[in-house]
Amino acid sequence: MKPTRKLPNENITMPMNRKAALFFLCAAALLFAISQAQQKKLPPDYEKKRAAISNFEAGVVPLFVLGDLNEDGVVDQEDLKLLRAYVAHSGSAGISCVAAADLDDNGSITAHDIAVLEEILSKGPVKAPALSAHARLGCDFKHFFIAALPQGRAGSAVPIHFLDPRFNPQNSTATIFTGPATIVSNQGAFLVQVAKSAPAGAIVTVSITLADKQRYLYSFRVAPAPGQL
Ligand SMILES: [Ca+2]
Ligand SMILES: [Ca+2]
């Protein structure tokens, strides 16, 4: 075969460089894919927070911000856009907390949830988003920072725990917004004491203001006493 005119080292070095480049590209793509998967499913401190929750009272679950579909910490028009696309079946790209899309908490995501979010946003920026414990539709918990019991019986206590080391009962506050309950802080958590006389089905809403001044509302229903329907 007639040799082509090439630089003396081109035949030797270029294929190696190409191989090396290909190898690094593949490795980089793999690492990127892994890190993407980890970002989606497992935030860096996810396991640590999960472990913390397992040490709390039985039944304590992480809370998420209702309406914050992309878990960026704010409920805004971007979330509404994602919700509209989801309901129109145009995809769930950008949504990391599907449960946050169930604004009316009925277990499915429909046009009514869009109407609820539109109504919330029509009043201006959401200053005190609602926290929810009902993650049955799935949530990545990219930013989970607080955990609580989803409900409590009359006379019992509903603990609210911080998962973010920046926040604690000393630098944050929790007060009863509405409902038959009082609140105390105890060993790094807030305890919502449900009144003994609280009727089953009553709703208790707690206003939580974190050290960074961000305010949230957490509501739970008073559960029926054992034996009661
Ligand atoms: Ca958001
Ligand atoms: Ca719904």
pTM comes to 0.79
Q: How far apart are CA 52 and CA 162, in angstroms?
A: 10
pLDDT per residue over 124-155, tens digit each? Answer: 999 999 999 999 999 999 887 899 999 999 99
Calculate how far, in angstroms, residue 112's C-alpha sits from the geometric centre of ligand 1. Answer: 19
Domain contains 171: yes
Domain contains 3: no
Domain contains 151: yes
Calculate how far, in angstroms, residue 170's C-alpha sits from the geometric centre of ligand 2. Answer: 36
CATH number of the domain enclosing 224: 2.60.40.10
Domain contains 187: yes
Domain contains 178: yes
Domain contains 60: no
Q: What is the β-pairing status of strands 130-132 and 146-148?
A: unpaired
pLDDT at position 15 over 60: no
Nearest to 82 by CA among 97, 95, 99: 95
Domain count within the chain: 1
Ligand nearest to the CA of 142: 1
Going by C-beta distance under 8 Å and a sequence separation of 6 or more, which residues neighbour residue 175? 183, 206, 207
The protein residues having their C-beta less than 5 angstroms from ligand 2 (an ion) are 102, 104, 106, 113
Domain contains 116: no
Q: Where are the beta strands (DSSP E) in 30-111?
A: 61-62, 64-65
Domain contains 205: yes
pLDDT per residue over 82-129, tens digit each? Answer: 999 999 998 889 999 999 999 999 999 999 999 999 999 999 999 999
Ligand nearest to the CA of 126: 1
Where do we find the tokens 């640590």?
A: 48
Calculate how far, in angstroms, residue 66's C-alpha sits from the geometric centre of ligand 1. Answer: 9
Calculate how far, in angstroms, residue 81's C-alpha sits from the geometric centre of ligand 1. Answer: 10
pLDDT per residue over 36-81, tens digit each? Answer: 545 556 677 888 888 889 999 999 999 999 999 999 999 999 999 9
Which domain covers residue 204, as residue numbers? 145-229
